[in-house]
Chain A
């Protein structure tokens, strides 16, 4: 079975600091995609960043970057120069079995508070 584990239920950092959210996953698939989704309070979920498993280069989107360690099955999210608007639930997510289905498997989430 494919699983996604986020070991940090909640984190707080000061505005402008850098924060890293951890995620590990388990799969027997060789080709898959990993995602980080952001769910702000009372707002809809949006995609932050995605990583294709066969690409060794870590994905980057402005202040958001990932550290993808395929052998260790680790996929952490780094937020640089954090802003108050980054306060949200962050979900690590996975899609495998891409030839058969495309449902997303989510972790339990990390609640991130950016403090002024």
Chain B
């Protein structure tokens, strides 16, 4: 296991379509985080999981967004009825126990909504 992986790396979709991204954290990492990064900005927190439990959701995460982490391993982030404003890089990170343990980031999924 060499790090956090994310798929797909790039996604182009038309407005109104649904998209799903996947994140595979480092093995045995209990915490998993999703961030969104728009052009020229730093990453913004979206949500995080402790094993399979979703502990916090940002106000940025509208009702069109849903995240899951079944069985406490990989996670998926789904966006329904995509809008052009959803275009961004979606980053996943994991840490061993949370708190101030180092968060290891994946390469991100770049979403473009036409």
Chain A residues with CB under 8 Å of chain B are 4, 33, 43-47, 50, 52, 91, 93, 95, 98, 101-109
Find the A residue at minimum CB distance from B40.
A108
User: B85 near A: Cβ within 8 Å?
Assistant: no
Residues in B lying within 8 Å of A, measured CB to CB? 3-4, 31, 33, 35, 40-45, 48, 55-56, 58, 91, 95, 98-100, 102-103, 105-108
Please name all residues of chain A whose beta carbon is closer than 8 Å to the beta carbon of B42 when the two chains form the complex: 4, 91, 93, 106-109
- Flag if B105 contacts A102 (CB, 8 Å): no
Question: With contacts A91-B43, A109-B42 known, is A103 near B56, CB below 8 A?
Answer: yes
Of chain B, the residue at the smallest CB distance from A46 is B105
Q: Once bound together, how far apart are the Cα atoms of A53 and B106, in whole Å?
A: 27
Docked CA distance A107–B3 (Å): 24
Q: Are B56 and A45 in contact (CB under 8 A)?
A: no
Q: Provide the bound-state CA to CA distance between A19 and B24, in Å.
A: 36
Distance A47 CA – B100 CA, assembled complex (angstroms): 12
**B105–A44 CB distance below 8 A:** yes
In the complex, A49 Cα to B90 Cα: how many Å? 23
Docked Cα-Cα span, A33 to B95, in Å, equals: 15
